[in-house]
Structure 1
């Protein structure tokens, strides 16, 4: 699959463990090495700022999308290639999705989780056929991945839909998998009925 832009969801905090910042910078380097531009939430703080700065330092292009309210709190990154200021979080996610050929979630909080699951759900429902990846830095997402597998075992998530979420610990390996991604053939379904 041709990938020219990837959207990265991640924390507006750096977290307590410096391994997360190291991974953010490594992901930025992996993107520029692959010739892939970054789309992200437009902030200069936390892991968001680190991955953006790493892409910029490597000569890559970075597009940020930030709601006006967060822009007004002075958390916007003003050194980006392009910065879009939108009216709401809903507009932000829709624009980020439109501008991106795939999605990666790094460690983060509930906003990162919500963005990851929404993009994965949109793929499950056939609204897009773009890859969705989880960068599992230092085992951060181990328990979540285990829970997701439990959801499959419990019959609430199909194995084909589970396979849509790629999980890797190494940024370059995840980027490479996303570049090689072939969307699975998944039957259309509504509720419990196969169509």
Structure 2
């Protein structure tokens, strides 16, 4: 059934060729959101970690809102069990819709599409266009090298001072990720809003 309650956007892979631990993590994230009474908002896909997160939430009696562009629905890529399906005209509107319906976001392991979604939210947070927290769930060290590179970017002063701590959080387990995303983003001191930069 439709819901107006803000949920958590979960960005993740649609691949069906991954190690079992990645699917287990996605399913646990969906289940934990459901147990906390928080709707899961994802890309609505019928495969990969998207499907696992959906299944985990539904198995725990939760609500899952899938947001898909029309061309994906036309190809039958949507998960059949979604509580609610939202059709958008294109990929850009899909991301905007997911962000607008969410109180925070979790990036699970994924490929190019997941990276693009994650970095757009990071950019929106920097510009104060998105105020919810972003949590990077570093399952099995998946994001270690990316986080190392971002630390390098920061050390070379391509980010504002202290940006990594302000723009994202890092979790290693589904439990940490859900706990972090449900903690208000303003619990981290944000000097951008204090006019220091």
TM-score of the superposed pair, with normalisation by structure 1: 0.91
Asked if 1:180 is matched to 2:183, the reply is yes
Within 1, Cα distance between the matches of 2:9 and 2:185?
18
Q: Does the CA-based 8 Å contact 2:31-2:62 persist in structure 1?
A: no
User: Corresponding residue for 1:169?
Assistant: 172
Q: Does the CA-based 8 Å contact 2:31-2:58 persist in structure 1?
A: no
**1:188, distance to aligned residue in structure 2 (A):** 6.3
Structure 2 unmatched ranges of 5 or more: none
Within 2, Cα distance between the matches of 1:155 and 1:118?
20
**1:60, distance to aligned residue in structure 2 (A):** 0.5
Matches within 5 A, 1:72-151: 72-151=74-153
**1:4, distance to aligned residue in structure 2 (A):** 4.6
Instruction: Kindly provide the CA deviation profile for residues 82-139 of structure 1, in whole angstroms up to 9, marking residues without a partner as x.
Output: 1011110011011101111111111111000000000111010011211001011111
User: Corresponding residue for 1:57?
Assistant: 59
Q: Does the CA-based 8 Å contact 1:25-1:54 persist in structure 2?
A: yes
Give the secondary-structure state (helix, strand or coil) at the position aligned to 2:169: strand
User: Corresponding residue for 1:160?
Assistant: 162
Give the secondary-structure state (helix, strand or coil) at the position aligned to 1:102: strand
**1:35, distance to aligned residue in structure 2 (A):** 1.7
**1:16, distance to aligned residue in structure 2 (A):** 2.7
Pairwise CA RMSD: 1.8
Q: Does the CA-based 8 Å contact 1:14-1:21 persist in structure 2?
A: no
Q: Does the CA-based 8 Å contact 2:35-2:62 persist in structure 1?
A: no
Matches within 5 A, 1:1-80: 4-80=6-82
**1:31, distance to aligned residue in structure 2 (A):** 1.0
Q: Does the CA-based 8 Å contact 1:66-1:92 persist in structure 2?
A: yes
Within 1, Cα distance between the matches of 2:142 and 2:185?
26
Within 1, Cα distance between the matches of 2:55 and 2:135?
21
How many residues align? The count is 189
